[in-house]
Chain A
Amino acid sequence: MKRILKTTTYVLAGAALTFGFLSFKDDPIKDYSKIPVVGQSVAELTAPPFVPKPVGNRAATKLIVNMEIKEQEGEMADGVKYTYWTFGGTVPGSFIRTRVGDEVEFHLKNHPDNKLPHNIDLHAVTGQGGGAASSLVAPGHEKTFSFKVINPGLYVYHCATAPVGMHIANGMYGLILVEPEGGLPPVDKEYYIMQGDFYTKGAYGEEGSQPFDMDKAIKEQPDYVVFNGKVGALTGANAITAKVGETVRLFVGNGGPNLVSSFHVIGEVFDKIYLEGGEKINENVQTTLIPAGGSAIAEFKVDVNGTFILVDHSIFRAFNKGALGMLKVEGPENKTIYSGVIKEETYNPESRNVEKVKDEKTAAPTKPASVKNTQTAPAKPAPAKTAKSAPAKPSAQNLRTESTPLKPAPHLQTQTASNLQAKIAAGKNVFSKTCFACHQSEGQGIPNAFPPLAKSDFLNNNPKKAINAVIHGLSGDLTVNGKKYNSVMTPQNLTDEEIANVLTYVYHSWGNSKKVITASMVKNERKNKPVSVASAH
């Protein structure tokens, strides 16, 4: 027994030695603090979504970073003004790119017109407060401190001045990349994306100057969850781009202050994820979790063309709070990887009476059976009559419609109606918040999914049905400009005035008929029942 124990001890000790020796051999230099620096240079800083050029093979150096803090008004969404506090004039702040072993001399400058002191905590810093303790700077002042980056990875930086949460909530965060020796493997495209949650006094989309709301921030109930500081920072003309066959690398951060992000690109699989921005790589990932105050590096080759939507897959944030971006990939289709629509045909479950279906087909061969069925269903008591006979008990939707026109003073209403330009401008705002995600910035729609609004025969021939569709929604087969669509538009929770404005905007854009829709037309149409699709033809 004693001998066995002794032997075991020897074996264990031997194993420990061997492993210890091996691991030492594998990583000859893990102590990056000993890397000497060569020369000095001024760091290139970039505004999102761009990143400075890769470090490549360069030696560690003394790198001078000049960062200016600016408190400035910006737009959270069209017509929604917000005072951001920024590193370098953007949200997120300027991207800083270093390599391991660099000695960073950081100059933090607080613009003289600013009201508040600020500082910076860089998660890449090994030292008290991540630099915050050395960098508190009054307006009109500049503080300098320096640090050596000794851990490769992608790190968040942020302001840590009291009250910390408010400084972060107002946009004071960004990313600093520490590349490994020899740099990250080269790719074709690199972009910088950072999510943040915002808390405004008014609800999502409420126009005007919106102050920060501390109560909502404490309750963690943001009105906006966005990429790169505002709704639409990465959509439409601001979309990031790539060509088929290229490899894209996204440096993704999450500033918070509160929410954790489920980062996902619709229609793509991440070939590689540097988990939490560190060294460990996971492959073939659909959605990666990015903690508040954390990051991830996502890499993928784009194999097919199309528009790929970047979202926080906590999905209401994407479609109702703004967490939506776009990657537009140009190039040839690849039918092997993605075919697109091959064919479309009528579907009848087997349980149905085959004979009956045959009869119906003979009677009306051009119309799909399912649609005909809804159409011929016995008419229920018309909602219009109910509304008329019992006006004291309006439904929730009617209540909203009826109470809305009472609010604005009469002179205001006529003013709105009389000024067509203002009406169109207001409509454009509604469009970019409500319709844009599906119907797209130029009303072009998305082929095979969402019908176009540009030069749309459906719109121009059926103004009443267009109004009805916005109020009640629309689903089923629909032909627009000779192409068939079959998807669902949900009822839109908008006021009469908003619907009138947005439709007027649509009718005055992209080659449409310049029709003016008024709030009273919308009000009238609310009384009518939802349009059945077949009759919309």
Chain B
Amino acid sequence: MNPYLFVAQKKYLLLLTLLVATINVRAQDSTMAYIKEGSYIPLYGNADKPPITVSSFYIDKYPVTNAQFLEFVKKHPEYSKSELKGIYAEKNYLYYWLGNYDYGSQKGNAPVTNVSWFAAKCYCECQGKRLPTMDEWEYIAMADEYSVDARTKEEFNKFILSWYEKPQTFLNQVGSTYKNKWGVFDMHGLVWEWTFDFNSIFLSGESRKDKDTDKLLFCGSGSVNASDLMDYAAFMRFAFRGSLKANFTTRNLGFRCAKNLSPGRLTVNSQAK
């Protein structure tokens, strides 16, 4: 055997190992975007209260896909379509899947939907992540392609509203809408997304009633509290979240995961001061 060749091979192997290692490190980063700390006034905020502060965190760049969720249920059969306990999801759980390990004719890279909050939460935790809080989610969702807060842009709001009129966008693949200033895709225009505290803003079924309660959001008269009267797009999101319970699953509702900067602390990441 040619010793020279052997050395060369060894060298090559080393290089390769190094390269793979690098990819591994980067791979973990590349699926998530870094979100820098900041503050914002949410829809339901008002002039009397200070803005909400959101600490730095990571967020998945894309919503979780059918293919990714399939990998998850393979490892956790108790979350498969037929095995999941009734208290964790209603009977529509993954209803468009053909079997426990078969998402049928759907695209593998389309977002997984018809998952309950319990299933979404468990999925994230199994990846060493967590669901984003509503404030985190809203904070990221303010951004369009060019700025971190595009809420006053007419075109941006029109884009969000127009999604409500596009049928069956859940069939599209992730990444098919737009990449925002943070490097995060599909915050609007693909599917709704679960948040950790989706029901922390109470929206009563009757959207116009009692201004005098301490409820933060209700709409016809709720616009009295809303910081931006024109933010109808956000009204819809809060109305939608208000209609949900943790075991609900709907065809237009998926999720993505978030992660703290220092791993291991799964505390809620934002608080009004």
* Interface residue ranges, A against B (CB under 8 Å): 71-73, 83, 112-117, 119, 121, 128-129, 132-141, 160-164, 166, 209, 211-212, 214
Contact = CB atoms under 8 A, between A and B. Distances in A.
Contact of B167 (A83, A139, A164): A83
Contact of B240 (A72, A112, A117, A135): A117
Given A138-B243, A140-B250, A214 B161 contact: yes
A198 to B, nearest CB: 13
A164 B219 contact: yes
A117 B164 contact: no
A204 to B, nearest CB: 19
Contacts of B235: 162-163
Given A136-B242, A162-B222, A112 B205 contact: no
Contact of A117 (B92, B222, B243): B243
B208 A139 contact: no
Interface in B180-234: 192, 203-209, 218-220, 222, 230, 232
Nearest to B231: A163
A72 B168 CA distance: 11
Contact of A129 (B192, B206, B222, B242): B206
B167 A113 contact: yes
B209 A129 contact: yes
B236 A163 contact: yes
Contact of A162 (B239, B244, B248, B251): B239
B239 A161 contact: yes
10 contacts: A112-B250, A113-B252, A115-B252, A117-B239, A133-B204, A136-B243, A137-B243, A138-B244, A211-B158, A214-B161
Contacts of B243: 117, 136-138, 141
B71 interface: no
B177 interface: no
Contacts of B9: none
Nearest to B240: A117
A214 B236 CA distance: 13
B165 interface: yes
A113 B218 contact: no
A71 B165 CA distance: 8
B173 interface: no
A160 B204 CA distance: 11
B236 A162 contact: yes
Given A129-B206, A129-B208, A135-B205, A73 B167 contact: yes
A72 B243 CA distance: 20
Given A135-B205, A139-B251, 19 more contacts: A72-B167, A113-B167, A115-B164, A117-B239, A119-B207, A121-B206, A129-B206, A139-B250, A139-B252, A140-B92, A140-B249, A160-B208, A161-B207, A162-B222, A163-B219, A163-B232, A209-B165, A211-B158, A214-B230
Given A135-B205, A139-B250, A162-B220, A211 B232 contact: no
A521 B219 CA distance: 56
B162 interface: yes
A-B interface, 7 closest residue pairs, ranked by CB to CB distance from nearest? A162-B219, A136-B205, A117-B243, A129-B206, A133-B206, A83-B165, A138-B243
B239 A116 contact: yes
A211 B208 CA distance: 25
A116 B240 contact: yes
B238 interface: yes
A121 B204 CA distance: 14
Nearest to A160: B207
A72 B162 CA distance: 14
Contacts of A139: 250-252
Contacts of A136: 203-206, 242-243
A115 B188 CA distance: 13
Contact of A164 (B161, B163, B166, B207): B207
B165 A212 contact: yes
Nearest to A209: B165
A83 B165 CA distance: 6
A256 B13 CA distance: 74
Contacts of A214: 161, 230, 232
Given A138-B248, A162-B219, A162-B220, A211 B209 contact: no
B245 to A, nearest CB: 8
Given A117-B242, A162-B218, A212-B165, A140 B207 contact: no
Contacts of B163: 115
**Residue with the greatest number of chain B CB neighbours at <10 A, chosen from A117, A212, A214:** A117
B166 to A, nearest CB: 8
Given A160-B206, A160-B207, A116 B242 contact: no
Q: Which of A134, A140, A161, A214 has the most CB of B within 10 A?
A: A161
Contacts of B92: 112, 140
A493 B103 CA distance: 54
A212 B205 contact: no
A82 B154 CA distance: 21
A214 B157 CA distance: 10
Nearest to B222: A162
B95 to A, nearest CB: 8
A133 B161 contact: no
B90 to A, nearest CB: 8
A115 B236 CA distance: 10
A138 B250 contact: yes
Contacts of B252: 113-115, 139
B186 to A, nearest CB: 15
A212 B157 CA distance: 12
A129 to B, nearest CB: 3
